[in-house]
Chains A and B, each alone.
Chain A
Amino acid sequence: MSADLVLQTEIVGKRNEHLYFALRNRKVVIGSSIVLALLLLGVVGPFFLSSTPNEYVGPKSAAPSGDYWFGTTYFGQDVFAQFVHGLRSSYLVGALGGAIAFVIGLSVGFTAGYRGGLVDEFLNMITNVVLVLPALAVLIVISSYLEVRGVVSQAVIIGLFSWPWVAKAVRSQTFTLRNRDYVDLARLTGKRAPQIIVREVMPNMASYLLMAIILLFGGAILFAAMLDFIGLGPTNAVSLGTMMQQSMAWSALHLGLWWWFVPPGLAITAIVGSLYITNVGLDEVFNPKLREM
């Protein structure tokens, strides 16, 4: 009981301190700045640019210039306009796909890990089935039955298929935590399971869960890019992945149109990479030990 109390007060007391350190952590500041800056570009940009980024507007295969900041494609489409629309799609896929996967993964993982027994076996089975289900093939079937493949449907499908590893990892962490003394103590005091999970187990996995969110967000963006690349992207919209796919299909590198191929990949790297860097910084914030080092 006493360990429990100490832990709780510590957590509450740390909150303001966390913010203080977060704002002074270079990794957090730089990482989140990049993520937010690109997000802003993706959200605001399309309002200032053409709403039809696939239109043939300029000269063909033009290098970056004052008129076309990122040059034009093989057909004379404005790469910057596509890029900005693509950013928006990527964030949408990342946020939506990541959120869906996180919620499912967390619920399944905690329940399975804490309950154990038959519940665990059942959930574990579902997790295994989803895990071994060939997501790619299922995605093709689902998407071909959708009239038009959109960014949102892609995000939902990605979310529905990328939670198992979170569930598994959370489950195994919960397994080890549930036998810890303070959890036993909490149980002895008659707390109900959800309460124990939220108050005892979760805070002890905070850094891990944060990592999971960030990995899921980044993972969803990367998975979407892969689907786009093999031709399963949104059918009538622009995303960073379809930009790469199009530029490859039209041999952009061979024709010297690097400005068509490089920016989308670089942007994804920047977004996902900055998220990870932020994660490292946040870790230092949450983990005083690291700050001391």
Chain B
Amino acid sequence: MTKRRTLIALIALPALAASACTGGGGGSENPSELSMNEFPRNETLYITGTGGGPPADWNTITPGEVTGLNGLGYETLFLFDPETTELDPWLAETGEWTGDLTYQLTLRDGITWSDGEQLTADDVKYTAELGQIEAVPYHNIWEWLESVEVVDDLTVEFTFAEARHQEWNNFLWAEQIVPEHVLSQLPEEEILTGANEDPVVSGPYTVHSYDQDRLAWVKRDDWWATDHLDLEVQPTFVVEVITTSNEVALNLVAQGEVDLSNNFLPGIQDLMASNPDLSTYHDEAPYMQQANTAMLIPNTTVEPLDDPEFRKAMASAVDGQKIVDSVYSGIVATANPTGLLPLWDDYIDQSVIDEHGISYGASEAASILSAAGYEDGDGDGFVENTDGEAVELTLNVPTGWTDWEEAARSMAADLQAAGINVTEEFIDAGAVDDARTSGDFEIIMNNWSGISHTPWTHYRYLFQLPVLDDQSTANFSRWENEEAWSLTEELAATASDDPRYQEILSDLQRISLEEMPAIPVWYNGAWSQVNNAVWTNWPSEADDTPNVIPTAWNGYWNMSSIYMLTELEPAG
């Protein structure tokens, strides 16, 4: 009896399972309209590691829009070029300050939305004015922007209450222009939280299909840049594969099933040696370009972390090079003492670093400590506070963030060797978020100061005042320096070509080195590893390839990475 049942089940179940799969495996498409092998390999670019979840949101206003929407679908007025730190016209043809408080912008002629309508000055005005709604991410521009006037079909004039050049530039290259003729028909509720499925876009791609673990874009025929800039995106399809583990991403890119992986893949340099198809931006260390600065964040409301000298001693005790070598095997680089990313190298004032910079060394740390009155009175190998109380500090990093865990181990060991009793402790990622926001921590790590068009964002991150009960985006150290913050605010309103700009930056660098509100340790890479089997001519340091950052992370297409798609070449 048992045997017979088994056999029947053996035959029947896989068939059942297969049909069950088909029934529900469907995405958004009507199966009858689709052909087989939808995406021919040599016309398709496969990407993974962009950090997106299941595709569900094509709304630029809500957080969590699908990756690629900004750049492939919607576009910005300018592109930001991290190579030159300049803004390059994109949807806009020109843009300039026509007065102290007025900015005039001219759009390119003949840009069409995917529904055939023209992209005009009305769309720009509408997009900017959406910011008047409080729940829109760029609502803050209306604190210093006064009005937006449509001069003619292609010209818009912005009038400001205060000319915050740097903040305004951020709007120009970061905010996506949305179609007025579509959105103005919708109720506000829908604009703010609707899914905006089947978006009407201006960019080179439009949504093809999606499923829980993938999102496919298909090339548009009438992208404006083909006429205007002689640019054409090479892949007909861009398919983003959503993977949950780096191991799987590594499999996919090593086997050439995925062309571009923006995951953190440790050991990639060893794999490249054995797999000639794989490559990264640089041929040698640090292999990647730098995307953000990983910093130790001391809570300056806690003794003795409130003492700049103590923090400086910590800074000189931490061996960044050791982390770079042993944890990352050279795929990251040590951070400049100012914490400014390499793309801002031109702004770094070497004389300030020479004067105030701190060099690495346990003995250096010891002398700073003893000069500031921190001694090891009880001979336990660790210094006590100036009042004789033992110092015991905890460095928290999210559990499961393997590289940070290893880095934390390394830093805690360094600090202990220098006489500062710091123990690493790995806690739930959510608990780290809570701690960072509420200030209930001693030392944490954070890397939210990343690539932008101006170091202003870095100093806003370091010095922002006032310190609130909950700090959600900046100044996690809770360090209060009025001078530094007013300099930062002045920086926001200063044009990059103004001589005052560099003066302010030098001052800010001096303050950050003297007071060390956060300790820069290393630069995280813009992780990117590519397989050359199907597509070649990837961005790299070589002269004959594009020099953009080869990553498809959210917000990178408009950092000129879109040129990666126009410059790709089919292999062989």
Contact = CB atoms under 8 A, between A and B. Distances in A.
Contacts of B251: 254
Q: Which of B247, B425, B431 has the most CB of A within 10 A?
A: B247
Contacts of B250: 251, 254
Contacts of B430: 144
Interface string A203-231: 00000000000000000000000000001
A143 interface: yes
Given A251-B250, A255-B267, 13 more contacts: A56-B326, A56-B410, A74-B266, A74-B267, A147-B425, A148-B425, A149-B399, A235-B426, A246-B402, A249-B402, A250-B266, A251-B265, A251-B267
A254 B402 contact: no
A2 interface: no
Given A76-B326, A254-B271, A255-B267, A249 B246 contact: yes
Contact of A144 (B326, B425, B428): B428
A90 B265 CA distance: 29
Interface string A2-45: 00000000000000000000000000000000000000000000
B327 A75 contact: yes
Contacts of B410: 56
Interface string A48-59: 000000101000
A112 to B, nearest CB: 30
B424 A236 contact: yes
Interface string A64-76: 0000000000111
A60 interface: yes
Nearest to A257: B267
A248 interface: yes
B507 interface: no
B329 interface: yes
Interface residues of A, number: 25
A131 interface: no
Contacts, number: 59
Nearest to A54: B409
A143 B428 contact: yes
Interface of B: 245-247, 250-251, 254, 265-267, 270-271, 326-327, 329, 399-400, 402, 406, 409-410, 424-428, 430-431
A235 B400 CA distance: 9
A255 B246 CA distance: 13
Interface in A125-176: 140, 143-144, 147-149
Contacts of A76: 326
B326 A255 contact: no
Contacts of A56: 326, 410
A231 B426 CA distance: 11
A250 B426 contact: no
Given A235-B427, A246-B402, A251-B247, A75 B254 contact: no
Interface in A173-191: none
Contacts of A231: 399-400
B247 A235 contact: no
A60 B246 CA distance: 21
A236 B267 contact: no
B428 A75 contact: no
Please name the 9 residue pairs, one residue from A and one from B, whose CB atoms are nearest each other, closest first. Answer: A231-B400, A144-B428, A235-B426, A249-B402, A255-B267, A144-B431, A250-B266, A251-B267, A251-B250
Nearest to B425: A148
B87 to A, nearest CB: 38
Q: Which of B250, B267, B326 has the most CB of A within 10 A?
A: B267
A3 B265 CA distance: 69
A146 to B, nearest CB: 9
Contacts of A248: 245, 247
Nearest to B430: A144
7 contacts: A74-B267, A74-B329, A144-B427, A144-B428, A236-B424, A250-B266, A254-B271
Contacts of B427: 144, 148, 235
Contacts of A253: 247
A83 B180 CA distance: 62
A225 B194 CA distance: 42
Contacts of B266: 74, 249-251
Contacts of A61: 270
Given A60-B329, A235-B425, A250 B270 contact: no
B438 to A, nearest CB: 14
A134 to B, nearest CB: 16
A154 B327 CA distance: 28
Given A231-B400, A254-B267, A75 B425 contact: no
Contacts of A144: 427-428, 430-431
A76 B410 CA distance: 13
Contacts of B267: 74, 250-251, 254-255
B278 to A, nearest CB: 11
Contact of B428 (A140, A246, A249): A140
